[in-house]
Amino acid sequence: MSKIKITEVALRDGSHAMSHQYTVEQVKTITKALNDASVPYIEVSHGDGLGGSSIQYGLSGTDELKLIEAAVEAADFSKIAVLLIPGIGTIEDLKNAHRIGADMVRVATHVTEADVSKQHLETAKELGMETVGFLMMSHMAPVDKLIEQAKLMESYGADTVYVVDSAGALLPDQVAERIKALRQALTVDIGFHAHNNLSLAMGNTLAAIKQGATRIDGSVRCLGAGAGNTQTEVLAAVLEKMGIETGIDFYKMMDIAENIIAPILPGTQEITKDSLTMGYAGVYSSFRLHAERAAKRYNLDSRDILIELGKQKIVGGQEDMIIDVAAELAKKNKITV
């Protein structure tokens, strides 16, 4: 089996759990440690990607360009990646990230909207960056639609196309079906990004690898949106037991998890009632904190908000709808705010 290349996402996906309050010193410390553990890629940006700092998505405590620059300075082995969601991040944001040293961009779209990634992927290729197409909420599209959208990203110049289980809603057989289909349809690398809302991140990741995915995301100490992602230090150990090469020193990864990440966690990364509900309802993992705040504001059960978001098929980028849904539920239930 081919070597698995892991991208560490705690400094991007984990930004959601940190309410986007990472400091320059934290990013430097974490990046240097991950670099020393030989992690090949480290993703750094606002949880919603370049340009994500806003009232709608959450204001960053520190300008993300300063965080990216700090990561670049701290790494001499690891490559620094950024996420960009068209409509949130711009071409100018991409150029600025490249200018300060970002090596790879992951252009993320809803699973049925790959066409909006064209100019961003093409610009990144012109800049000489490694390019990834990131098909979010992949559980929401049938396999034939997923293949169609993946082929678009491949045609725009993506070096890798990811199946992204943004809600942690996929089951192992569904992951296997999607990865196998893309492996047969594309010539580029295939990647997989999991969330642990149904406690299936590791199982789904192994199912993806078995079907030919060679680019895998992990988050140290499970630090990510919702119930977090596939836990990097655990994944490195499991793959080593399976005889699959990652190049990562999992002893060092365990030390990072225990000594650097654990002390800064705002809370334990576990499957709470809300993260479980997100996986069950197929709701974007970064909606958890937004739904919890809306529930307090409107005297609702946050699970009811999440279930309704799932029924309405609200997707990433529609965070403003969470308040609207909560207000409508409160009105329907005659709840006084």
Q: Which residue among 16, 20, 46, 139 is the active-site one? A: 16
Nearest to 224, CA basis, from 176, 278, 174, 175: 278
The two beta strands, 41-43 and 215-218, are: unpaired
Is 12 known to sit in a ligand binding site?
yes
Q: Among residues 130, 131, 133, 79, which one has the least CA distance to residue 101?
A: 79
Is residue 57 marked as binding?
A: no
User: Can you give the chain as a three-state secondary structure string?
Assistant: CCCCEEEECCCCCHHHHCCCCCCHHHHHHHHHHHHHCCCCEEECCCCCCCCCCECCCECCCCCHHHHHHHHHHHCCCCEEEEEECECCECHHHHHHHHHCCCCEEEEEEECCCHHHHHHHHHHHHHHCCEEEEEEECHHHCCHHHHHHHHHHHHHHCCCEEEEECCCCCCCHHHHHHHHHHHHHHCCCEEEEECCCCCCCHHHHHHHHHHCCCCEEEEEHHHCCCCCCCCEHHHHHHHHHHCCCCCCCCHHHHHHHHHHHHHHHCCCCCCCCHHHHHHHHHCCCCCHHHHHHHHHHHHCCCHHHHHHHHHHCCCCCCCCHHHHHHHHHHHHHCCCCC
By CB atoms closer than 10 A (0-12, 13-18, 19+), residue 225 is buried
16 is catalytic: yes
**Residue 110 known to bind ligand:** no
* Phi, psi values for residue 53, rounded to 5°: -65, 110
Is 284 assigned to a binding site?
Answer: yes
CA–CA distance, 169 with 151 (Å, rounded to integer) = 23
Is 193 annotated as ligand-binding?
yes
Answer yes or no: is 290 a known binding residue.
no
Active site residues: 16
Binding-site residues from annotation for substrate? 12-13, 166, 193, 284
Binding site members: 12-13, 166, 193, 195, 284
Residue set of the binding site for Mn(2+): 13, 193, 195
